[in-house]
Amino acid sequence: MTRHAAFLRGVNLGKRTTKSADLIAAFAAMGFAGARTLIASGNVLFDARPAAGLARRIEQGLERHFGFDIGVVLRTDEELRAMVAADPFRDVPPDADAKLYVALLREPVGKSLGAPFGVPGDFNVVSATDGELFAIAWHMPNGRYGEGLDMLEKRLPKGTLVTMRNWNTILKAVR
């Protein structure tokens, strides 16, 4: 068995609510062992054998359970540990007035975007792998962090499934 993390896209927005207990029950009903949510119910850790089409199988099971489409980006524990070991934010000072994010892509297109890039004073994508974009969101005068991060999706090929997570979520997933 392999430990996986399912990062769900677009849940807990408006009527698209998924409660932790319901997610755990849905994963159990799909035959996955050890399911638990992480931080919020948009992150599910579970055990399964790696298999082609696993994300699609989970999406179908979640749609049956919740009644709406939920995009899923999967990473194995090994992939998450490699991401953390690469230390993509090593050059960010610990006292930087910023938040650190990773855009998790289902399709391997991250390197094709030509990182680094960004909008000065808003956000910087500091590095990329095929499946991830690592971004620093700067504290802006209006009090928000990295409002322009939404434009990352516009740089991706049409139809690319992406979901954004705070770097702390990734760190907690590997503990």
| CA gap 120, 88 in Å, rounded | 19
Domain range annotation of the chain: 2-79, 86-173
Beta strands in the chain (DSSP E): 2-9, 33-38, 40-48, 71-76, 98-105, 117-119, 123-128, 132-138, 162-166
Report the percentage of the chain scoring pLDDT > 70.
Answer: 100
* Chain CA centroid to CA 8, Å: 7
Residue 121, pLDDT > 80, answer yes
Residue with tokens 């855009």: 103
Mean pLDDT computed over every residue of the chain: 93
Q: Give 2-79's CATH code, choosing from 1.10.1760.20, 1.10.3720.10, 3.30.930.10, 3.30.70.1280.
A: 3.30.70.1280
Which two three-digit tokens encode residue 77? 């524990």
pLDDT at 126: 95
Q: 3-state class of 42 per DSSP? A: strand
CB 129 within 8 A of CB 111: yes
Q: 3-state class of 129 per DSSP? A: coil
pLDDT at 7: 97
Confidence of residue 75 (pLDDT cuts 50, 70, 90): very high
Query: Any idea of the CA torsion for 51, 134, 81, 30, to the nearest 10 degrees?
Result: -30
Confidence of residue 17 (pLDDT cuts 50, 70, 90): confident
* Mean local confidence (pLDDT), 28-46: 93
Confidence of residue 36 (pLDDT cuts 50, 70, 90): very high
Amino acid at 125: V
* CA-closest candidate to residue 165, choices 152, 112, 30: 152
* Mean local confidence (pLDDT), 32-54: 92
